[in-house]
Structure 1
């Protein structure tokens, strides 16, 4: 059995993962998805990582999953806890020392061919059931930008196996962009699923199945025991 540490994106809450958590539980895995201190002007990436690490403390066979801005937090958690696998979903993929506020400029995001949308539903939730999208917007606490221009405390990418999972219909981080950044920064060819930027709401069963498959690749069965060998 794996324990999944699920990290939400900017201006979001752990509720984002609730459908995936239910699907992971059906597959025999544990998970935690705390709210990060997104609205706290005194909190930065280190405090976000501390929150996640605290929620995972003492749990075995941890797989850390970061979505969107959670990609900046996830590798920092690997410096705080033993982690079996790091998974980035529809992610930002930080370089050491890079501030989140500098990410788009450093990765050529503004030069990437893509359609622009003003409506947050159209950007983030175009394939999410309307009632879930409305609930997600209602629950969003906002995102403090007070410390987003600070360099990341990430000194080097952690020595942890890493997967990148992109969403083919992502309007925030288009698939060609994520493929390029993953290749340039990590030397990784991403795995792919259909859907937009928030697959935990639009395709929770498919996302959970992918995550459970990654756990199986690490030798973590869904029965609470590791297979022999």
Structure 2
């Protein structure tokens, strides 16, 4: 069985993953989803990675799963522990040494044709059950931007098998945008799921299926 290590996105908490974690626990896997210090002005990407590595402890057979801005933390974790598989979901995909604040310009995000949404639920949670979307808002935190201009402290993408899963109806990162960025930066074609930006809340069972299938491809499910 695998150990799934979940990294949440900007201004969020580990709770975001609770439905997927429960699905995977029921199938015999382990799952951890630490809260990153994203509202701490003194914390940067290295401290985010410290938090994840500390939560991993001596666990093995690791599948690191990163949502959105979690894509900036994921390669740092993969550089520090033995990871069998990296899965990026609706991700920001940094270049080595890229500062988060520069991502939008470097990926030509503003040139992307998309509808602008001012409402948080309409942008992030349009396909999430209303009660879950409301709870997500109450649990969210302010994302500190104090250290967003610092270069990401990794020199090259880790040599870990990597999958990218994007939402067909993602309103923050449209599918066309993520197809282009994934191909440009990782040289791979992403998979798609029929959802918006937050599939761990809108499609937890289907997301668990995808993650388990990815882990099986890496031989992490043993004889089960």
Distance in 2 between the 1:98 and 1:209 partners?
A: 32
- Give, in angstroms, the shift of residue 93 of structure 1: 0.4
CA-atom RMSD, angstroms?
1.0
Name the counterpart of 1:91. Answer: 91
Name the counterpart of 1:129. Answer: 129
Q: How does 1:1-229 map onto structure 2 within 5 Å?
A: 1-221=1-221, 226-227=222-223
Structure 1 residue matching 2:54: 3-state secondary structure: helix
- The answer for unaligned runs of 5 or more in structure 1 is none
Distance in 2 between the 1:171 and 1:45 partners?
A: 25
- Give, in angstroms, the shift of residue 25 of structure 1: 1.0
Distance in 1 between the 2:36 and 2:70 partners?
A: 10
Structure 2 residue matching 1:214: 3-state secondary structure: helix
Normalization by structure 2: what TM-score? 0.98
- Give, in angstroms, the shift of residue 227 of structure 1: 4.1
- Give, in angstroms, the shift of residue 57 of structure 1: 1.7
Distance in 2 between the 1:12 and 1:96 partners?
A: 24
On the 8 A contact 1:69/1:91 being kept in 2, the answer is: yes
Structure 2 residue matching 1:84: 3-state secondary structure: strand
Distance in 1 between the 2:150 and 2:102 partners?
A: 9
| Aligned length, in residue pairs | 224
Distance in 1 between the 2:84 and 2:160 partners?
A: 7
Distance in 2 between the 1:87 and 1:76 partners?
A: 14
Distance in 2 between the 1:185 and 1:131 partners?
A: 36
Distance in 1 between the 2:27 and 2:207 partners?
A: 12
Distance in 1 between the 2:39 and 2:220 partners?
A: 35
Structure 2 residue matching 1:65: 3-state secondary structure: strand
Distance in 2 between the 1:125 and 1:154 partners?
A: 31
Distance in 2 between the 1:121 and 1:58 partners?
A: 38
- Give, in angstroms, the shift of residue 79 of structure 1: 0.8
Distance in 2 between the 1:109 and 1:14 partners?
A: 27
Structure 2 residue matching 1:31: 3-state secondary structure: strand
Normalization by structure 1: what TM-score? 0.96
